[in-house]
């Protein structure tokens, strides 16, 4: 959940509210924050399932290095949600294995 | 959670009065009788000396190199209890103990960086260096100055015999 | 695109290098893949150690803000959201920003790309909400969101101890800090603080298993002997929903490998470290390294190494008068020497001397 | 006199797909084999290539020897299918087809002529596809650029690391010794007879030596003249399998740019990376910005979808060409006991059969397939081929296609 009041950092900075759609559900987010922030704030911890063993995975490094937090964003899989800021009505899906490339020019 | 107690029993990393006495020195009862005394509980050679530079009366000595153990040099009780040293210390390892607060009570000014900030008069439990609750007391004063950069100085009052052990507190209602 | 000095990574080392060089007339381009500069500074809400020159007593993110202002003041060109995807032999850097790909040519390069947290494998280690302690610190202090409420921390170095405190500040309950070795690894002052606040530090213990489904739910810790063998029967199951791994960091030196730098293996400095001399010049002419990429230390040393590299590059570019440059270099070296003392500093000083020795021997 | 470290029936030099194949097939015949590798298994060309299995690599060059080459590459595929039945390691060999793409009308007409020649030489598999048919087989290609293609359904790809490791493991199980990080200083020859090999701390005595070092082969045996060719390779992030999935594209004549998808979903991209002035060092494994951009942008014109995909890593590999484009497989004339297996532009399509032939020759003195056209000594005494300098693509294209 979001840290509304922090002893050192003070209150949450005011930011424009945006809506993102995660697995079909509308979730509130703040402009400029990372996708992973909004996802974790909404209580979701699993971002993807691995392709072979279908195991749940979530944030590990939070600095865009380990790719364990990748999800499908606007029809493109493998997007590192910990370093990608949210945009209004972004469509985000939990990634199953290698994910589905929707409107990809290279798509089959 | 029942394992809470068994975990606490096994804990390591507790700083002891002997070590403080050995590395930083601990005020004598005679020095305590003169008024507030900063207690520095920083028993390792770590490269750090803001406590030395912040004291307007130059009562804390580190010297060169800055890994020397910090020591209070204030035999005549020049310390005014201004608490600058408490809030500058990166390790939150400095407290001011005033055993002259009252006949059988002592006050302890300690750094506090959590929410909610305590309120004057609030009932508290005194916690020692190992995390154990050892006595009851109350919040005597809360200082929240801008130049303390978000570290508040909470002064609690507890029975005098615990003044050498209590270094933290918890609210009663918690 | 051409520049005199390209600096890769705008953390404490990169920022200091950029400021010191630009202050002395060098045309600097500072490149960082993130949306904001500052690197680890902005998740460090605690006060820095060191002395006045190291800006001790000031909180990490305040230092970050001060440096961002200085970069504007001294005219540093800052390229954010820009990934350096390649460092090529003739001091060329491949950049990409969005889907715009370009190549920048520099006369000198400073690599200050920082470090990555180590992971630790145990049954269940890939479960969601088992993350690096630095990652949790970023989530809490930068992204302002608490990933879990009942936290177990593995590793009692400064990162483990500080993150335990900062999770508590953010309102989480820290169940315990678990340490494999018999004694606490980080500064005593950090340990004393969390112990008095009720967080037990359990030494000679490690995590043997984690369980959960869409999130970690349980962690099993157990006592181990000095050969790290688990003592049967000493297992304890803890209810947790977040496990933070604080078992050290390693340099993020892919660009250094790619450019063909020579390396040394020094576990005390995080593993494979690019060879460099006392002025941070790497084994490749014209390329310097600074900060955690040149050996894991803390932000204060990274800042001093950044100054060192910035000035050394400025001198070799002929833009900084040698005499004046040497003064700043010696001051930075004094700053580093002061930080590399005592039980937590001696081994780093010794390792750094070994690197410089191998640099000249290679 | 250097100390004799050990004795072997055969010393194989080179730990790539070809060397490990030779070690395996020799060990299968009960020979005491020692394989020496300068770096690590599959650290040379094998570990840097796209893993393509192409039964008839290239276009004009050696088109007249189609039937001869198909004997080897078809036998190679048969052996690899046997491997798959009893090898412990699965090296991910799949026959998903290969498209050789024509990017303009003249190339398309070339392909038409080539296919007639191939068919006349007994190649019943090769098919000519026009643009529509090509795009049906691989819809992600760029219709504006594609004119048509040549398709062979039995081509495919494999994991080159795993092939080399699989063969090495099976060879070890049969008693072969694999020695890595061991550089051969010289092949010891006394009065034209192999005595063994010299390494830093001594000699390994052996009556037979197999030189399977491909791009580096001429450094140990000058006269066989294998020319190292620098190739740039890249790998993308993992993508779902693109249905249907013939993989590799050969285009722009013999200087192939290629894209092949691995079993785990990454796309391997490749293209020519000519050696750089001033010293034109073909063994230079460092990467240069301009060549990465060139290979990437060329492939993206053919396969636009890939431009939205991240490139994760790029590296350089060293292939081995011979002046006439045919591999050099056979005993070295005039030197008893020295067998050469080198000079493969498409190593993965020849490795297994070349290893088997080496073991046949060493064990039986004859081979199951005729190796007369690949005599390693065929260039001895002829003027050394001067690789055209500066080595630029168009010049080399003509050089390779029209021969020396």
CATH architecture of C119-245: 3-Layer(bba) Sandwich (3.50)
- Residue D236 pairs in a beta bridge with D311
CA nearest to D303 within chain A: A106
Are chains C and A touching, using the cut-off of 8 Å on CB pairs and a minimum of 3 such pairs?
Answer: yes
**Mean pLDDT across the stretch B124-148?**
95
CA nearest to A4 within chain B: B115
With cut-offs at 50, 70 and 90, classify the pLDDT of residue D255: low
CB proximity under 8 Å: C 20-59 to B: 46-52, 56-59
C-beta separation of C105 from C2 below 8 A: yes
Distance to chain A for B155, nearest Cα, Å? 18
pLDDT exceeds cutoff 60 at C31: yes
Q: On the CB side of B149, how many CA atoms lie within 13 Å of its CA? A: 19
Indicate yes or no: CB of B66 within 8 angstroms of CB of C197. no
pLDDT (tens digit per residue) in D83-92: 999 999 999 9
Q: CA dihedral in degrees (C317, C318, C322, C327; nearest 10)?
A: -50
Are chains D and B touching, using the cut-off of 8 Å on CB pairs and a minimum of 3 such pairs?
Answer: no
pLDDT (tens digit per residue) in C194-223: 999 999 999 999 999 999 999 999 999 999
Residue D322: the pLDDT is 87
pLDDT (tens digit per residue) in C44-57: 999 999 998 899 99
Distance to chain A for C143, nearest Cα, Å? 6
C-alpha R_g of chain D: 21
Q: Parallel, antiparallel, or unpaired: how do β-strands C236-239 and B37-40 relate? A: unpaired
- Residue D307 pairs in a beta bridge with none
pLDDT exceeds cutoff 90 at D319: no
C-beta separation of C36 from C87 below 8 A: no
- Strand order of the β-sheet with B37-40 is B37-40, B94-98, B105-112, B152-159, B133-143, B123-128, B166-171
Q: Domain ranges for chain C, please list them.
A: 2-116+249-361, 119-245
Q: Out of C56, C198, C338, whose CB is closest to B131?
A: C198
With cut-offs at 50, 70 and 90, classify the pLDDT of residue D1: low
With cut-offs at 50, 70 and 90, classify the pLDDT of residue D396: very low
Q: Domain ranges for chain A, please list them.
A: 15-96
Residue D253: the pLDDT is 52
Class assignment of domain A15-96? Answer: alpha beta
Distance to chain A for B13, nearest Cα, Å? 25
Residues of A at the C interface, defined by Cβ within 8 angstroms:
1-3, 6-9, 12, 33-34, 36-37, 40-41, 45-47, 50, 55-66, 68, 83, 85
**Mean pLDDT across the stretch C327-336?**
93
Residue D384: the pLDDT is 77
pTM: 0.90
CATH code, domain with D305: 3.50.50.60
Distance to chain B for A107, nearest Cα, Å? 52
CB pairs under 8 A between A and D: 37
**Mean pLDDT across the stretch D241-266?**
72
Residue D394: the pLDDT is 47
pLDDT exceeds cutoff 60 at B169: yes
Distance to chain D for C231, nearest Cα, Å? 37
Question: Which SS3 state, helix, strand or coil, does residue D52 take?
Answer: strand
CB proximity under 8 Å: C 215-244 to B: 236, 238-239
Q: Out of A98, A99, A105, whose CB is closest to D305?
A: A105
Ranges under pLDDT 70 in chain A:
104-108
**Mean pLDDT across the stretch D40-51?**
94
The tokens describing D268, both together, are 């391997």
| pLDDT > 70: percent of chain D | 92
What ipTM does this complex have? 0.87
Distance to chain A for B26, nearest Cα, Å? 31
Q: Give the number of other Cβ atoms within 10 Å of residue D132's Cβ.
A: 10
Mean pLDDT of all residues in chain D?
A: 89
Indicate yes or no: CB of A8 within 8 angstroms of CB of B115. no
Q: How many domains does chain D have?
A: 1
Q: Between D245 and C5, whose confidence is greater? A: C5
pLDDT exceeds cutoff 60 at C126: yes
pLDDT exceeds cutoff 80 at D389: no
pLDDT exceeds cutoff 50 at D363: yes
**Mean pLDDT across the stretch D32-47?**
96
pLDDT exceeds cutoff 60 at C170: yes
pLDDT exceeds cutoff 80 at D250: no
pLDDT (tens digit per residue) in B13-55: 899 999 999 999 999 999 999 999 999 999 999 999 999 999 9
Residue D397: the pLDDT is 47
Provide CB contacts within 8 A for B30, sequence distance 6+. Answer: none
Residue D252: the pLDDT is 57
Residue of B41, B90, B94, B166 to mutate when probing chain C, most C C-beta within 10 A: B90
Chain A within 8 Å of B114 (Cβ-Cβ)? yes
- Strand order of the β-sheet with C130-132 is C130-132, C242-245, C150-154, C173-178, C201-202
Residue D393: the pLDDT is 47
Residue D399: the pLDDT is 47
pLDDT (tens digit per residue) in D184-197: 999 999 999 999 99
C-beta separation of D265 from D247 below 8 A: no
The continuous run of DSSP H or E covering B32 comes out as helix B29-32
With cut-offs at 50, 70 and 90, classify the pLDDT of residue B10: confident
Chain A within 8 Å of D137 (Cβ-Cβ)? no
- D64 burial class (0-12, 13-18, 19+ CB within 10 angstroms)? exposed
pLDDT exceeds cutoff 90 at D298: no
**Mean pLDDT across the stretch D11-27?**
98
With cut-offs at 50, 70 and 90, classify the pLDDT of residue D213: very high
Least confident piece of the model among C13-27, C269-283, D66-80, D282-296 = D282-296
C-alpha R_g of chain A: 14
Chain C adjacent subunits, 3+ CB pairs under 8 A = A, B, D
With cut-offs at 50, 70 and 90, classify the pLDDT of residue B4: confident
pLDDT exceeds cutoff 50 at D144: yes
Domain residues for the domain of D118 are 4-402
Are chains A and B touching, using the cut-off of 8 Å on CB pairs and a minimum of 3 such pairs?
Answer: yes
Residue D104: the pLDDT is 85
Residue D145: the pLDDT is 85
Distance to chain C for B73, nearest Cα, Å? 20
Indicate yes or no: CB of D289 within 8 angstroms of CB of C103. yes
Class assignment of domain C2-116+249-361? Answer: alpha beta
Q: Between B155 and D228, whose confidence is greater? A: B155
């Amino acid at each position: 959940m979001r840290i509304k009041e922090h002893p050192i950092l003070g209150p949450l900075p005011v930011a424009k509210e945006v809506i993102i759609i995660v697995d079909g559900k509308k979730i509130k987010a703040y402009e400029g924050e990372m996708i992973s922030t909004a996802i974790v704030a909404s209580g979701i911890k699993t971002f993807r399932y691995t392709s072979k063993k279908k195991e749940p995975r979530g944030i590990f490094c939070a600095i865009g290095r380990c790719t364990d937090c990748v999800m499908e964003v606007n029809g493109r899989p493998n997007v590192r949600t910990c370093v990608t800021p949210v945009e209004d009505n972004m469509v985000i899906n939990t990634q199953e294995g290698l994910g589905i490339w929707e409107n990809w020019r290279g798509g089959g | 959670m029942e394992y809470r107690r068994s975990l606490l029993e096994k804990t390591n990393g507790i700083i002891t009065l002997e070590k403080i006495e050995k590395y930083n020195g601990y005020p004598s009862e005679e020095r305590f009788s003169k008024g507030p005394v900063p207690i520095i509980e920083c028993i390792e050679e770590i490269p750090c000396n803001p406590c030395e530079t912040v004291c307007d009366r130059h009562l804390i000595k580190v010297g060169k190199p800055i890994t020397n153990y910090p020591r209070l040099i204030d035999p005549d009780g020049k310390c005014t209890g201004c608490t600058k040293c408490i809030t500058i210390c990166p390790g939150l390892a400095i407290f001011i103990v005033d055993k002259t607060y009252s006949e059988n009570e002592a006050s302890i000014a300690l750094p506090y960086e959590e929410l909610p900030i305590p309120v004057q008069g609030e009932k508290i439990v005194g916690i020692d260096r190992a995390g154990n609750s050892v006595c009851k007391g109350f919040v005597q004063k809360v200082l929240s100055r801008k130049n303390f950069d978000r570290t508040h100085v909470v002064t609690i009052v507890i029975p005098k015999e615990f003044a050498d052990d209590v270094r933290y507190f918890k609210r009663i209602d918690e | 695109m051409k520049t005199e000095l390209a600096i890769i990574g705008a953390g404490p080392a990169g920022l200091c290098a950029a400021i010191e060089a630009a202050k002395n007339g060098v045309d600097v381009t500072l490149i960082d893949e993130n949306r904001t500069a500052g690197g680890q500074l902005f998740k460090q809400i605690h006060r820095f150690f060191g002395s006045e020159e190291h800006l001790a007593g000031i909180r990490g993110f305040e230092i970050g803000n001060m440096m961002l202002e200085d970069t504007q003041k001294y005219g540093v060109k800052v390229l954010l959201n820009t990934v350096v995807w390649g460092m090529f032999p003739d001091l060329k850097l491949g950049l990409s920003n969005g889907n715009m790909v370009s190549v920048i040519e520099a006369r000198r390069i400073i690599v200050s790309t920082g470090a990555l947290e180590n992971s630790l494998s145990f049954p269940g280690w890939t479960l969601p909400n088992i993350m690096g302690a630095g990652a949790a610190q970023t989530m809490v202090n930068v992204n302002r969101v608490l990933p879990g409420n009942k936290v177990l921390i593995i590793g009692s170095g400064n990162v483990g101890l500080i993150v335990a405190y900062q999770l508590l500040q953010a309102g989480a309950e820290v169940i315990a800090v678990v340490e494999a070795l018999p004694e606490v690894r980080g500064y005593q002052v950090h340990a004393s603080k969390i112990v008095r606040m009720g967080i037990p530090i359990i030494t000679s213990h490690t995590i043997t298993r984690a369980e959960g489904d869409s999130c970690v739910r349980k962690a099993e810790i157990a006592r181990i002997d000095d050969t790290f063998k688990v003592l049967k029967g000493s297992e304890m199951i803890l209810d947790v929903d977040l496990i933070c791994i604080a078992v050290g960091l390693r340099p993020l030196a892919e660009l250094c490998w790619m450019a063909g730098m020579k390396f040394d293996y020094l576990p005390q400095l995080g593993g494979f470290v690019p060879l460099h001399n006392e002025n941070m010049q790497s084994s490749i002419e014209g390329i310097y390294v600074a900060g955690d990429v040149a050996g894991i230390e803390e932000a204060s040393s990274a800042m001093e190494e950044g100054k060192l590299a910035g000035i050394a590059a400025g001198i070799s570019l002929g833009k900084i008068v040698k005499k004046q440059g040497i003064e700043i270099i010696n001051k930075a070296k004094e700053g580093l020497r002061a930080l590399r003392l005592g039980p937590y500093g001696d081994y780093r000083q010794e390792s750094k001397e070994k690197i410089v020795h191998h640099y000249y021997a290679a | 006199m250097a100390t004799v470290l050990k004795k072997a029936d055969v010393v194989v030099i080179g730990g790539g797909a070809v060397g490990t194949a030779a070690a395996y097939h020799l060990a299968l015949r009960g020979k005491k084999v020692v394989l020496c590798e300068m770096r690590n298994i599959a650290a040379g060309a094998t570990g840097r290539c796209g893993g393509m299995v192409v039964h008839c690599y290239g276009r004009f060059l050696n088109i007249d020897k189609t039937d001869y080459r198909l004997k080897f590459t078809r036998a190679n595929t048969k052996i690899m299918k046997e491997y798959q039945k009893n090898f412990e390691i699965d090296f991910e060999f799949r026959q998903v087809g290969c498209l050789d793409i024509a990017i303009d009308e003249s190339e398309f007409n070339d392909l038409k002529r080539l296919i007639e020649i191939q068919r006349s030489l007994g190649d019943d598999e090769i098919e000519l596809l026009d643009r529509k048919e090509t795009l049906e087989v691989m819809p992600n290609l760029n219709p504006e650029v594609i004119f048509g293609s040549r398709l062979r359904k039995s081509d495919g790809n494999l994991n080159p690391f795993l092939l080399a490791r699989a063969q090495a493991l099976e060879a070890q199980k049969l008693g072969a010794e694999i020695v890595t990080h061991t550089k051969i200083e010289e092949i010891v020859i006394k009065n034209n007879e192999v005595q063994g090999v010299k390494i830093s701390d001594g000699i390994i005595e052996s009556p037979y030596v197999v030189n399977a070092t491909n791009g580096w082969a001429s450094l140990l045996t000058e006269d066989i003249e294998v020319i190292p060719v620098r190739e740039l390779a890249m790998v993308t992030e993992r993508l779902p399998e693109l249905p249907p999935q013939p993989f590799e594209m050969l285009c722009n004549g013999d200087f192939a740019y290629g894209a092949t998808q691995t079993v785990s979903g990454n796309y391997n991209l490749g293209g020519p990376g000519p050696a750089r002035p001033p010293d034109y060092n073909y063994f230079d494994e460092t990467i240069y910005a301009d060549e990465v951009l060139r290979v990437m942008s060329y492939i993206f014109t053919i396969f636009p979808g890939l431009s939205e995909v991240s490139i994760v890593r790029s590296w350089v590999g060293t292939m081995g060409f011979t002046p006439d484009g045919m591999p050099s497989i056979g005993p070295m004339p005039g030197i008893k006991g020295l067998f050469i297996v080198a000079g493969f532009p498409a190593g993965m399509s020849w490795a297994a059969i070349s290893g088997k032939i080496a073991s046949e020759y060493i064990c039986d003195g004859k081979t199951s397939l005729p190796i007369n056209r690949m005599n390693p000594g065929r260039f001895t005494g002829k003027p050394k081929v001067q690789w055209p300098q500066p080595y630029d693509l168009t010049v080399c294209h003509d050089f390779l296609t029209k021969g020396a």
